[in-house]
Structures are given as structure tokens and as C-alpha cells.
């Protein structure tokens, strides 16, 4: 386990980002948050407890400044627009983080590291149709999130890419369960509380077993996770499902 003293949260003003800020503060980390200038107000309640660096997350000058002295970096990869926002954000973090820093990135189940994920027809169609329409309207470029993750997978930094299932709001159910491949039975419920997605991201900063892994996560109290827990040996790791 590696200790963390100063964590940077890139995309801090979003729903996932704000939960991550709270979890990081709960762990006693010094927190730096990067968010778009127009979203600074969304962090008003936390403003006295964190350092806010306003700017677009693919702006290398902003990211370089924010990452100074940070031994942990949590990045929300959001494929907004058609100007390579997600890959630009990922590349800036990979290039400008302190040497040896723990880097944890968020994305969805549609990202595959080794092509071994098995997707339901529903998810395949959703990604195809949503991706097509969003690209047509030029609001979201899912391919750029794929490019961002490919760059991360190829990098020699100490990265983890956390792949989130469908998300819902609600009270924490504890640390989500993870598996290497979408399609593994433990993940069948395809649901996680957003607050727990954030918990997993922050917890990953100090979990060296997750370095160079792309865990797909599911809520700890979902039916598939409970079924798996009941069937597994008491010696099995509580947070790892495969």
C-alpha cells in the first residue's frame, strides 16, 4: 500500500467529482480540484477545504499547475465535444503528473482493455445508437474516450482505469465489487451507487493490487454481487470477484 498526502481531482465539480472530493477529505488528504471556470460555484460548499484550479481539463498549463506535488490523481474522463477532450485530458495527466504518482481514471463498461469483455445485446446497441446520435449532434465523442483509455493502457505510469456500470444515486452500500471482465456473473446486476463509484476511485489510490488493472465494478449490495459473495469461499478477497 502506498500512502497519499495530496490528491488532485480532475473534473471535481461533476457528480462523481464532488463525491470523490468528500471521500478524499474524509481520508485526510490535501485536495486540489480542477473544474471548468463556469462550474467553480458547484464547489462552493467545499471551497474553504480545497484548492480550486479553474480551467478546462485538457489544458496542459492548468493540469501541470494543479498536479504539482500531488502523489494521487483522480481523473473523470468525459468524452464531451469533438475536440478530443477526454484524450487530451488523459494525455496531460500522463505527461505532467509527478513521477511515481498513482493515477486513477473513470470511464464506463464500454471500454475494453483486452477485448475479452462480453457485452449484452442491450449494452452493445445502446453504445452504438447513443454514440452515433451524440456524434451526429457533435456533443459527445465516445471514440475519444476509447482513445484516451488506449493511451493510458499503453503508458508506463502507475495507472488504474475504473469502469463504472450504470449508476444511481443513494446512500453508500460500501466498496463495490470488481471483476476483470464485463460478462463475469458477479457483474450481472449492472448497477452501482455513484457515491460508491467515487469510493472505489479514492480507495484505488492506495491499493497497489489495482495498478495496471481496469476493474469493472458493481454495487456491493446488488443481487449479482450478493449471489457471488454467498457462493465464494470465506478466504476470497472481499473486494475482488474473479
Minimum CB–partner distance for residue 198 and ligand NAP (Å): 9
The C-alpha angle with vertex 27 and arms to 239 and 171, in degrees rounded to 5, equals: 60
Q: How far apart are CA 149 and CA 239, in angstroms?
A: 23
User: What is the edge-to-edge ordering of all strands in the sheet holding 6-10?
Assistant: 51-54, 30-35, 6-10, 72-76, 102-108, 158-164, 216-218, 177-179
Minimum CB–partner distance for residue 104 and ligand NAP (Å): 11
Between the alpha carbon of residue 155 and those of residues 57, 85, 125, 175, 222, the distances in Å are 19, 18, 30, 27, 33
Minimum CB–partner distance for residue 51 and ligand NAP (Å): 17
Q: How far apart are CA 78 and CA 83, in angstroms?
A: 12
What residues numbered 114-153 form the site for ligand NAP, per CB under 6 A?
none
Name the residue with the smallest CB distance to ligand NAP: 14
* Region binding ligand NAP by CB under 6 A among candidate stretches 14-22, 66-74, 129-137, 149-157: 14-22
What is the greatest pairwise CA distance in the chain?
Answer: 50
Between 74 and 241, whose beta carbon lies closer to ligand NAP? Answer: 74
What count of other Cβ atoms lies within 10 Å of the Cβ of residue 155?
A: 16
What residues numbered 50-79 form the site for ligand NAP, per CB under 6 A?
76-78
Site string for ligand NAP, 92-121 (x = CB under 6 A): --------------xxx-------------
Q: How far apart are CA 142 and CA 146, in angstroms?
A: 7
Are 217 and 164 spatial neighbours (Cβ–Cβ below 8 Å)? Answer: yes
Of 164, 176, 215, 219, which lies in the binding site for ligand NAP, with binding defined by CB under 6 A? 164
Are 21 and 33 spatial neighbours (Cβ–Cβ below 8 Å)? Answer: yes
What residues numbered 197-216 form the site for ligand NAP, per CB under 6 A?
none
Between 2 and 183, whose beta carbon lies closer to ligand NAP? Answer: 183
Between 5 and 51, whose beta carbon lies closer to ligand NAP? Answer: 51
Q: Is 169 helix (H, G, I), strand (E, B) or coil?
A: coil
Minimum CB–partner distance for residue 11 and ligand NAP (Å): 3
> Where on the chain is the footprint of ligand NAP (CB under 6 A)?
11, 13-17, 35-36, 39, 42, 76-78, 80-81, 85, 106-108, 164, 166-167, 194
Amino acid at each position: 500500500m502506498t500512502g497519499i498526502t495530496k490528491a488532485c481531482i480532475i473534473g471535481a465539480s461533476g457528480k462523481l467529482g464532488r463525491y470523490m472530493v468528500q471521500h478524499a477529505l474524509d481520508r485526510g488528504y490535501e485536495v486540489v480540484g480542477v473544474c471548468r471556470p463556469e462550474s467553480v460555484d458547484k464547489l462552493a460548499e467545499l471551497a474553504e477545504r480545497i484548492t480550486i484550479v479553474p480551467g478546462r481539463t485538457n489544458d496542459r498549463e492548468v493540469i501541470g499547475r494543479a498536479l504539482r506535488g500531488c502523489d494521487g490523481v483522480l481523473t473523470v474522463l468525459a468524452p464531451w465535444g469533438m475536440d478530443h477532450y477526454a484524450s487530451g485530458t488523459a494525455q496531460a495527466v500522463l505527461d505532467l503528473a509527478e513521477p511515481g504518482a498513482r493515477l486513477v481514471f473513470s470511464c464506463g463498461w464500454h471500454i475494453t482493455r483486452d477485448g475479452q469483455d462480453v457485452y449484452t445485446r442491450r449494452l452493445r446497441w445502446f453504445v452504438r445508437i447513443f454514440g452515433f446520435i451524440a456524434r451526429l449532434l457533435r456533443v459527445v465523442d465516445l471514440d475519444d474516450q476509447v482513445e484516451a483509455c488506449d493511451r493510458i493502457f499503453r503508458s508506463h505510469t502507475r495507472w488504474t482505469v475504473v469502469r463504472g456500470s450504470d449508476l444511481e444515486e443513494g446512500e453508500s452500500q460500501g466498496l463495490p465489487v470488481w471483476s476483470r471482465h464485463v460478462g463475469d456473473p458477479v457483474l450481472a446486476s449492472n448497477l452501482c451507487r455513484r457515491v460508491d463509484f467515487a469510493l472505489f476511485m479514492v480507495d484505488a489510490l492506495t491499493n497497489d493490487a489495482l495498478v495496471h488493472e481496469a476493474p469493472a465494478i458493481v454495487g456491493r449490495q446488488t443481487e449479482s454481487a450478493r449471489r457471488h459473495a454467498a457462493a465464494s469461499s470465506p478466504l476470497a478477497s472481499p473486494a475482488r470477484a474473479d
